[in-house]
Structure 1
C-alpha cells in the first residue's frame, strides 16, 4: 500500500483562506499543510493554529510554502531589489524566474536574492512553529521546481544546517489520466503544459537533491504529486474516479502520493496591495476553492490513512 498525504496549500494567504483550511483541520481531514510566512495575516493565524491544534483529531505536518510571487518580502528590501517594488512587495512572475534561470548574466544575482528571502521566510516559520522540528519545503506556484530556486534552497539548507526531511518535487503521473479518458475534456489545456514542464524539471531535481544531500540530512522520500492537471478543479467526483489509478501508479513505483488541494478561498474584500498577480487572484477568488474544500471534507478515514 502506498502512503497517502492529503495536503492543503496556502494557509495564511488570507484570514478566510486560513479559516477554510482550519475547518478541514478541525475535522481531521488533512495530513499536511503548507504555510505562507510573508502575508499580512501570517502571525495571527500561526498563533491560532498553535492555540487550536491540541483539540484536532490529527496533527498535520507543516511545510514552509516559499513565496516569491506576492506578498511583502521577509528579507530586507535592499537584499531582494530585483524581486520587489520600492515598497518591498514582490512584483515578479513565474516567467521572470524562468527567464532568469537561463540568463548567464542574472543567474547568480537572482540566486543570491532568493537565498536571502528563503532564509528570512524560513526563520519566520521557525519563530512561530519552533526551531527543533524538521523542516519541509515547497514553493508557491511550484517555483521550487526551477533550478535557480532549488539550488538557492539547497544552499540555504546546507549553510544554515537546517534539519530538513522533505522538499516537494512536483512530479505528476500521466497514466491515470489516460485510463480515465472521458474526463480529459474537463481539464484546462494550460495545466497539461504545466504538467509536462514540471515533470521535465523533476528529472533533474530528484537527481540534484539526492546527489547534493549532506550526510546529516534526511533522505527525500520518493513521491508523486497529484494536483497539477486538476489544479483548481479537485472536486469529489473526479478525485473518487481517479484515486484508485493514482494510488496504483504510486504503489507500482514505490512512491508516496501527495494529493494537493487548495481548499481555502480568498474574499474580494481581503485583496489588498500584497495581491499583485491578477491571474493568480482569479484562482484565489474562484468558487472552485470551495468545491475543493468540500472534496477534502468528503474524504473517508481509509483515504486519510
Structure 2
C-alpha cells in the first residue's frame, strides 16, 4: 500500500517552509522521501509560504493543519470568545480543550471550534481551490481527537463544498513498538500521549460512524509519529517500518509516517513566542534529526525495498 511520508507545520516562516520542501525529491533543490505536508492557515506569513507551493509537483499532497492552541485565530475573535484572549490568541491549550469538551459549555465550545476550523479550511482552499475536492485534515498537537474538536472537524468535513479525502487518526499499533528494539528509547510522556489518544479515539469512533462520512479505514491510515515524536530518526523508523507495512497491507490501508523537519530559527518567529513549550518544540534540535531522516539514504532504501 502507498506510504504517506508527511510533514506537519508548513507555513510558520518561508525559511522554515523551504526547509520542509528540501525533504521532497520532486521539488527543485530537494532531496528526500517527503510526499505530503499540511499548512498552518493561521500563520502571519501564510501568503508568503503559500507562494512556495505554487507549481508544486502533483505527487506532493497538501492538507490543512488545523490549529486551536498556538497563535491567533482566523475567525473574528468576537465569534470565538471561548477560544481566544483579548488579543485574539488561542488561550485554552490541549488541557483546556479537553476539559471544555466535558464541561457545561461543551456544545458552545464545539460550535466555536467549528467556526474557527471552517475559517482555517476556507483560507487554505481560497488559496488552493483544487483542495476543496481533495480535503486532507490533521491538527496541531493532535487536538482533532478531543471530543469537542472532533465534532467540529466532522461538521466542517461534511459541508457540501468539500470532499474529505483524509482525516488523520493518530493512534499507533502498540504491539509494533513493544516488539521492536527501540521500545526502551521511547519517552514516558509519549506513552502517556499514546494512551490518551487511544482512549479518545475509542469515543470518537462512534461519532465518525454516525456522521455519514466514510469509515475510518477509508479516511485514515496506519500511523506512526506520536511515540517517536520529536525524534523520528532513521534508525527507529526503519526498525518499526516492516511491521507497520505489514499491518497496513493486512488492513488494506495506507501507512502515514509523520515528521516535523521544519526547524524555526528563533523564538520570535514562532506563532506565539510566549509559549515556551511550543517554542522549544519548534526551535528544537529534534527537527534537524527528522530533517536528516527524511533525506537519509537508509530510509529511502527501506521504503524502496518495501514498494
Q: CA RMSD in A?
A: 2.2
Deviation at 1:249, TM superposition (A): 2.6
Going from structure 1 to structure 2, the CA distance change for 1:209 and 1:220 (only over 3 Å counts) comes to farther
Look up the match of 1:263. 261
Asked if the contact 2:10–2:20 (Cα under 8 Å) also holds between the matched residues in 1, the reply is yes
Asked if the contact 1:210–1:220 (Cα under 8 Å) also holds between the matched residues in 2, the reply is no
Matched residue count: 297
Matching of residue 196 in structure 1 with residue 195 in structure 2:
yes
Q: Give the distance between the partners of 2:160 and 2:273, measured in 1 at CA.
A: 30
Look up the match of 2:225. 227
Look up the match of 1:80. 80
Instruction: Extract unaligned runs of 5+ from structure 2.
Output: none
TM-score norm. by structure 1 comes to 0.90
Asked if the contact 1:135–1:163 (Cα under 8 Å) also holds between the matched residues in 2, the reply is yes
Deviation at 1:254, TM superposition (A): 3.1
Look up the match of 1:30. 34
- Secondary structure at 1:116 match in 2: helix
- Relative contact order (C-alpha < 8 Å, sep 6+): which is higher? 1
Deviation at 1:17, TM superposition (A): 2.2
Asked if the contact 2:12–2:270 (Cα under 8 Å) also holds between the matched residues in 1, the reply is no
Deviation at 1:171, TM superposition (A): 1.3
Matching of residue 175 in structure 1 with residue 181 in structure 2:
no
Asked if the contact 2:70–2:271 (Cα under 8 Å) also holds between the matched residues in 1, the reply is no
TM-score norm. by structure 2 comes to 0.89
Moved more, 145-154 or 264-273: 264-273
Look up the match of 2:112. 113
Q: Give the distance between the partners of 2:182 and 2:52, measured in 1 at CA.
A: 39
Deviation at 1:113, TM superposition (A): 1.0
- Secondary structure at 1:10 match in 2: strand
Alpha-carbon displacement from aligned partner over 1:51-86 (angstroms, at most 9, x marks no partner): 4x1xx5x63111111000112110001011121121
- Secondary structure at 2:228 match in 1: coil
Q: Give the distance between the partners of 1:275 and 1:83, measured in 2 at CA.
A: 18
Q: Give the distance between the partners of 1:229 and 1:44, measured in 2 at CA.
A: 32
Matching of residue 142 in structure 1 with residue 142 in structure 2:
yes
Going from structure 1 to structure 2, the CA distance change for 1:273 and 1:146 (only over 3 Å counts) comes to closer
Look up the match of 1:14. 13
Going from structure 1 to structure 2, the CA distance change for 1:273 and 1:266 (only over 3 Å counts) comes to closer
- Secondary structure at 2:189 match in 1: helix
Q: Give the distance between the partners of 1:142 and 1:31, measured in 2 at CA.
A: 20
Matching of residue 292 in structure 1 with residue 290 in structure 2:
yes
Look up the match of 2:152. 152
Going from structure 1 to structure 2, the CA distance change for 1:214 and 1:173 (only over 3 Å counts) comes to closer
Asked if the contact 2:133–2:162 (Cα under 8 Å) also holds between the matched residues in 1, the reply is no
Equivalent of 2:47, from 32, 35, 43? 43
- Secondary structure at 2:171 match in 1: coil
- Secondary structure at 2:182 match in 1: helix
Going from structure 1 to structure 2, the CA distance change for 1:242 and 1:157 (only over 3 Å counts) comes to closer
- Secondary structure at 1:72 match in 2: coil
- Secondary structure at 1:50 match in 2: coil
- Secondary structure at 1:63 match in 2: strand
Q: Give the distance between the partners of 1:117 and 1:43, measured in 2 at CA.
A: 19
Look up the match of 1:277. 275
Deviation at 1:28, TM superposition (A): 5.5
Alpha-carbon displacement from aligned partner over 1:64-109 (angstroms, at most 9, x marks no partner): 1100011211000101112112111112210000100111x11011
Q: Give the distance between the partners of 2:252 and 2:275, measured in 1 at CA.
A: 37
